[in-house]
Amino acid sequence: MSDDWIYYPCQMGENFASIFYDHGIRDSIDTIAPSHLLKVQAAFKQSQANGLPTNEEFPHLSELEDGVQALAEQHKGIYVGRVTVGGYRHFYIYTADSEEAWASRLDQLGESHSYTLEFTLERDKGRDGYWQELFPTEDDWQVIKDIGVIEVLGKHGDDGTASRQIDHWAYFPSQDAAEQFCRWAQEKEYVLGGNDKANNEKVCVRFTHIGTLQLADITSHTIALRRMASELGGDYDGWEVPVCKDSAQP
């Protein structure tokens, strides 16, 4: 287990979900992880309407997670992350041990934390549980980047609920691709700020919209922008805003 872990929210079907996974192990997991994946499921005692745990239960789930991690390390397994969705938390462990061995261990762990734990153990030679279920998609990476910017602004006192102009940039390999993107952006009611050649000879398109920095609001724009830029062979390069403080702040 590394010290480089990443958290991000996402959508799984109709359900809101969150994922917390070991990003630092990505370069070695295919060679060091045992070939069987153990998924341990804990049902929440009480969940919010969105299927996530309540603030009251969160500390108990954290203690349970510590226990899962310790158990994995004790038996030479590798704990790689968790998925929280629909009133459940799923813990992912790569292990070489048998189903019988884990059954007794998890019974004891669940009893000590007052949770009934269910589990599955399946062969996962390609480490698909890590790469396909925990590792971020391109859309997820955009959300992670947005969270990072929001957190930096928040440290400077930004009021994320304040509506303001948000500036965006995208780069394209040709003028034709840039113009196609501009037409699409105008249809989506973005205000264009022009385009020109950047130092790397790509065409830079600048555009804006008015909105808040609430995560669902900003990502409803950035994910669509990233997808369209990528479809045209370009790269969405992110957004920028000045800090907007609450009027009640000094």
| Predicted confidence (pLDDT) per residue in 29-43, tens digit | 999 999 999 999 999
**What residue segments make up the domains of the chain, in order of their start?**
5-134, 138-240
pLDDT of 116 strictly over 80: yes
What residues form DSSP beta bridges with 164?
211
Q: At what angle do helices 138-155 and 215-231 cross, to 10 degrees?
A: 140
Amino acid at 82: R
Report the alpha-carbon distance of residue 132 to residue 81 in Å, rounded: 12
Report the alpha-carbon distance of residue 192 to residue 94 in Å, rounded: 49
pLDDT of 159 strictly over 60: yes
> If you search the block for the tokens 């907007």, which residue do you land on?
244
Q: How much is the average pLDDT of 69-77?
A: 96
* 250: confidence class by pLDDT, cuts 50, 70, 90: very low
End-to-end Cα separation, the chain, in angstroms: 43
* 62: confidence class by pLDDT, cuts 50, 70, 90: very high
Return the number of other C-beta atoms located less than 10 Å from residue 84's C-beta: 21
- Domain at 5-134, CATH from 3.90.1690, 3.30.70, 3.40.50, 1.10.3470: 3.30.70
Report the alpha-carbon distance of residue 77 to residue 32 in Å, rounded: 10
Q: How much is the average pLDDT of 104-112?
A: 96
Position 148 scores a pLDDT of 95
CB neighbour class for 199 (10 Å; exposed up to 12, middle 13-18, buried from 19): exposed
What residues form DSSP beta bridges with 91?
40, 82
User: Who has greater pLDDT, 46 or 189?
Assistant: 189
138-240 CATH fold: Alpha-Beta Plaits (3.30.70)
pLDDT tens-digit series, residues 201-229: 899 999 999 999 999 999 999 999 999 99
Identify whether the C-beta of residue 8 lies closer than 8 Å to the C-beta of residue 150: no
Identify whether the C-beta of residue 134 lies closer than 8 Å to the C-beta of residue 83: yes
Whether 138-240 and 5-134 are alike in CATH topology: the answer is: yes
Question: What is the per-residue burial (b if ≥16 Cβ within 10 Å, else e) of 141-156?
Answer: ebbbbbbebbeebeee
Q: What are phi and psi of 171, to 5 degrees?
A: -120, 140
Q: How much is the average pLDDT of 44-71?
A: 94
Position 80 scores a pLDDT of 98
Position 199 scores a pLDDT of 62
pLDDT of 73 strictly over 80: yes
Return the number of other C-beta atoms located less than 10 Å from residue 105's C-beta: 19
Q: For the residues of 23-56, what is the DSSP string, one character each?
A: STTTTTHHHHS-SEEEEEEEE-SSB-TTSPBPTT
Adjacency order of strands within the sheet including 164-172: 191-197, 203-211, 164-172, 235-240
Amino acid at 197: K
- DSSP letter at 158? B
Q: How much is the average pLDDT of 10-33?
A: 95
Candidates 109, 91, 101; CA nearest to 38 is 91
Position 29 scores a pLDDT of 97
Position 241 scores a pLDDT of 95
Q: What are phi and psi of 5, to 5 degrees?
A: -115, 145
